[in-house]
Structures are given as C-alpha cells and as structure tokens.
C-alpha cells in the first residue's frame, strides 16, 4: 500500500465537493473549524459550482479532484459532503496521476465510491472520516481527536466508543485483517462491476442512513449472494441512522437482520460503532491492518500501524 504523507500542524487542506453541493452558510461555518485550529484552506472550484443538486458536472467535479492531487500546496483533501453522483465521476479520474501524487483523501457516504476506487486502483490508503457537513451542528471533539491521531501518525490507535454511544456485540471474538468497507448502498452499487470490493480476509465495516428495514435486508442479502461475506474475518456495523420499520412491521430489527444473514459465521460481529452518518465519526484508514476485539463488554477497534508516512 502507498501511505500518504502525514498531516502536520499548519498544513493546507483542500476542500472539494465531488457529489452534492453544500449550502453556503454551512460551508462557511464548518470550514472555520479547521482555520481556527491552525490549518490553511484551499477551496476547490467545485465548492462554488452548482448543477441542479450537484457541485458542477461530473467532468468539473473530476477535474477539481485532480487539481487538488496535482497542487503541490495541498497536503490533504477533505470532502465537503456526500449525496449522490460519484458513480459518474470515478471513471473520469486519472488514477496514474493520483498514484504519483499521494495525499490524504477523506470522506464518507457517497464518497465511499471514491475511497474504494482510489485505493483499489492505486494502492493509496484513503480515509473514511468526517467531512465539513459532519460539523454542521457544531464542533465535535471526539471526531476531531481521532481525525488528528490517525492522520498525524499515532500508532497503534485503539478506538474507544464515546460515553453516550454504546456499540453492541452480536458475536464475540477477536480478529485481524485489512480494513475495508463504507456505505452499504454504495458497496452494493459496485457489485458486478470492475470496482466490486474484494473482501477476502478483511475486517469489513458497513453503515447506512434512512433505509427501511426491508431495504436494509435486501442489500444485505445482495451482498451475501455476491459472496462479500464469505471469507471476511470480522464485521462492523456502523451507527445506522434514521432507519425505519414499515406498517405493518417488517418483523426484524437491523441487528436481527444482520444475525439472520451472518450469525452462522465464526467471526466477531459488532454493531452501532461510531462510523457513518451519526454524530460520532472516527477516522478509518482503508486497507490498513486492524484488530477487532469483541471479547469484552465494550468492543474496540485498534489500527495496528500508522496509515500515513
């Protein structure tokens, strides 16, 4: 794997909006959080572009990402928000140039498509983690703390849940493997394409938002049928936000759906972990070895080596 250079105090962060457009007031409020903590900001052109719901055309959004990778003044790239639209942009990226200009690239939600494509095609470690929109309701110390620990080179890093979020252990155990995953909808979208995730031997993490229970099961069954769960070493379900039952009830909770599909596997399984669309979002390095420990009352995830150089 190619590890990007570590984030140093006073570094320059490039902001791109490669999917949906971010509200101007939210942008100004959230970018200030980084400025107040000593980081310099270079604003990508996509931040100001609008094309219906999007931050410009697919071509404009792809060019903005490429401009950030080739700009020597930019040390790290953080996405403003997710939404939809990455599937039209990822084929337009120049992965050879990205490989030759390694730097931190971070986001979640629709950004899953960028993270998976970049890491699979170039070997560059990418990061699921907070975006600008994460802080639209205010600064969250927990998120920013793990952002700094992970990107500045601390090693190893054991992720402990915040006091008011309680991960649940569905199956006990301990396992190691490279960390892969992201938004469930986006992972399912890549099935049957050249960008399908190779999950063999991984600690797989998935999360989603705003799905009804039957749709969540449908995507989990699709992943099962595609063999994604067959040879994983551990499974992490992130905080599932705004999930809804149907009327009449579907009859199973999200935890029960997970266990119905994966419960016979001899692997540790945890749920409600601080990654995804919830208030708490740790920074997870894609492809880096981790250890999932679900043998005690409160599960932990340890990043075993620094994901940056």
Q: How far apart are CA 277 and CA 173, in angstroms?
A: 26
pTM: 0.96
The architecture CATH gives domain 157-303 = 3-Layer(bba) Sandwich (3.50)
Query: Tens digit of pLDDT for each residue in 221-253?
Result: 999 999 999 999 999 999 999 999 999 999 999
Q: Render pLDDT for 75-84 as a digit per residue (tens, 0 to 9).
A: 999 999 999 9
CATH superfamily label, 12-139: Murein tetrapeptidase LD-carboxypeptidase, N-terminal domain (3.40.50.10740)
Residue 264 DSSP one-character state: T
Domain boundaries, the chain: 12-139, 157-303
pLDDT at 235: 98
Question: If DSSP codes are grouped into helix, strand and coil, which group holds residue 179?
Answer: strand
Predicted confidence band of residue 297 (pLDDT cuts 50, 70, 90)? confident
Nearest CA among 143, 153, 154 for reference residue 108: 143
Percent of the chain with pLDDT over 90: 98
Q: Is 156 left (phi over 0), alpha (psi -120 to 50) or beta?
A: beta
């Amino acid at each position: 794997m190619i590890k990007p250079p570590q984030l140093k105090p006073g570094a320059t962060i490039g902001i791109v909006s490669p999917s949906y457009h971010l509200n101007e007031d939210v942008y100004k409020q959230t970018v200030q959080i980084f400025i107040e903590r000593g980081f310099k900001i270079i604003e990508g052109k996509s931040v100001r572009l609008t094309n219906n719901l999007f931050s410009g055309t697919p071509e404009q959004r792809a060019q903005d990402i490429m401009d950030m990778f080739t700009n020597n003044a930019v040390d790290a790239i953080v996405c403003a928000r997710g939404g939809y639209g990455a599937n039209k942009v990822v084929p337009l990226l120049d992965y050879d140039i990205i490989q030759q200009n390694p730097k931190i690239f971070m986001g979640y939600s629709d950004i899953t498509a960028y993270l998976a494509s970049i890491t699979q095609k170039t070997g560059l470690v990418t990061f699921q983690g907070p975006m600008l929109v994460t802080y639209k309701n205010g600064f969250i110390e927990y998120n920013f703390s793990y952002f700094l620990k992970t990107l500045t080179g601390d090693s190893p890093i054991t992720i402990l849940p915040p006091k008011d979020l309680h991960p649940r252990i569905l199956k006990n155990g301990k396992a190691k493997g490279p960390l892969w995953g992201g938004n469930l909808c986006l992972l399912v979208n890549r099935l049957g394409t050249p960008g399908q995730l190779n999950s063999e031997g991984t600690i797989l993490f998935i999360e989603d938002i705003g799905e009804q229970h039957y749709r969540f099961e449908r995507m989990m069954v699709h992943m099962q049928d595609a063999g994604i769960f067959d040879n994983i070493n551990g499974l992490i379900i992130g905080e599932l936000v705004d999930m809804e039952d149907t009327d009449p009830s579907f009859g199973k909770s999200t935890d029960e759906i997970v266990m119905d599909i994966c419960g016979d596997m001899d692997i540790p399984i945890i749920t409600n972990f601080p990654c995804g669309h919830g208030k708490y979002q740790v920074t997870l390095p894609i492809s880096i070895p981790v250890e999932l420990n679900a043998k005690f009352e409160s599960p932990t995830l340890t990043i075993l080596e620094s994901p940056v150089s």
